[in-house]
């Protein structure tokens, strides 16, 4: 009984930490990029990826949290690099969107990930789901359309970047299944992050230098005036790594399906907290649209679970 209770307490603590890191990094990104006035989303993403590179190496190579998996061929490295680029674009797009959109609307758009995943899975692998699964995607998309029409802080460029980031996130998930499908090439998410993050850094460093003129000089100047920015960036970047670490650990100690359900609830929690903190205006139409999207995602998850049971029997 004690073992069972301690195991449950550990799982609950893990889920709580996963929620805190996910929502924390989202709100801190919004604060830095919008309220604080640090308008450099590419550089912010670069900091995230540098932290992910270093901390994932420490966790795997030094702390032995999971066995070290090696890259076995040049072809596998190219595949991982492709995933790294798409991962990088999804994070940059999400951070750029936070400059223009409130967290609540950002999360509403992000909830459409299952729609893009289903589309890419069909286009790239010709994998078909049951008709109920596709029907469940209708309220997902309809909800975002309603939320967009009722969003007081709607910004077209921010909307496009957020949709692009959501699509890139879904594309990475599908491509990961296609490119690393053989047993010899499969990597767990922690090892994959360790190899993808340096690739992302290689892409982001020149992009930040070219597109965000003198960002390093401006950051140093800000740090001289007020060291708070240094601690904010360090904490934010570390939190970004813990999002990936806790994501892996929650999946390991529960299941991928549980993670999906918890993720749906997390989005709703993030919306409520962001509205309370940033006090961004929301409309009844916008909240109804977001609620419809969440209901659609839940129905989609249930339909997929039902299809899986039918295939297994």
User: Sorting pLDDT into bands at 50, 70 and 90, what band is 3?
Assistant: very low
pLDDT at 239: 96
What is the predicted pLDDT for the residue at 150? 84
pTM: 0.89
Q: What letter does residue 63 receive in the DSSP assignment?
A: S
Parse the chain into domains and list their residue ranges. 23-67+80-312
Q: Sign of the CA dihedral 290, 294, 295, 296?
A: positive
Mean pLDDT is lowest, of 88-92, 114-118, 228-232, 268-272, for 268-272
User: pLDDT tens across 150-204, in order?
Assistant: 888 899 999 999 999 999 999 998 999 888 888 888 899 899 999 999 999 999 9
37-89 pLDDT, tens digit per residue, is 899 999 999 999 999 999 999 999 999 999 999 998 999 999 999 999 999 99
Helix, strand, coil percentages for the chain (3-state, nearest 5): 85, 0, 15
Q: 256 falls in which pLDDT band (50, 70, 90)?
A: low
């Amino acid at each position: 009984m004690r073992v069972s209770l301690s195991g449950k307490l550990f799982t609950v603590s893990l889920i709580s930490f996963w929620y805190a890191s996910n929502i924390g990094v989202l709100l801190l990104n919004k604060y830095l990029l919008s309220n604080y006035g640090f308008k450099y989303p590419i550089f912010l993403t670069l900091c995230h990826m540098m932290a992910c590179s270093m901390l994932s190496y420490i966790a795997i190579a030094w702390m032995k949290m999971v066995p070290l998996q090696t890259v076995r061929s040049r072809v596998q490295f190219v595949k991982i690099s492709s995933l790294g680029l798409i991962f990088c674009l999804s994070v940059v797009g999400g951070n750029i969107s936070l400059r223009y959109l409130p967290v609540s609307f950002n999360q509403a758009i992000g909830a459409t990930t299952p729609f893009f995943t289903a589309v890419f899975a069909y286009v790239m692998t010709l994998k078909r789901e049951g008709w109920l699964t596709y029907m469940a995607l209708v309220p997902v998309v309809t909800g975002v359309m309603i939320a967009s029409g009722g969003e007081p802080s709607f910004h077209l460029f921010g909307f496009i970047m957020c949709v692009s980031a959501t699509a890139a996130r879904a594309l990475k998930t599908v491509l990961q299944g296609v490119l690393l499908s053989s047993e010899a090439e499969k990597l767990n998410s922690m090892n994959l992050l360790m190899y993808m993050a340096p690739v992302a850094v290689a892409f982001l460093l020149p992009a930040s230098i070219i597109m965000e003129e003198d960002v390093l000089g401006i950051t140093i100047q800000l740090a001289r005036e007020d060291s708070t920015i240094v601690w904010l960036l360090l904490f934010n970047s570390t939190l970004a790594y813990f999002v990936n670490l806790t994501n892996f650990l929650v999946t390991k100690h529960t299941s991928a399906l549980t993670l999906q359900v918890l993720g749906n609830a997390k989005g709703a929690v993030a919306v409520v907290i962001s509205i309370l903190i940033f006090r961004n205006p929301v409309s009844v139409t916008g909240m109804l649209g977001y609620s419809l999207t969440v209901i659609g995602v839940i129905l989609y998850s249930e339909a997929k679970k039902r299809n899986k049971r039918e295939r297994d029997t």
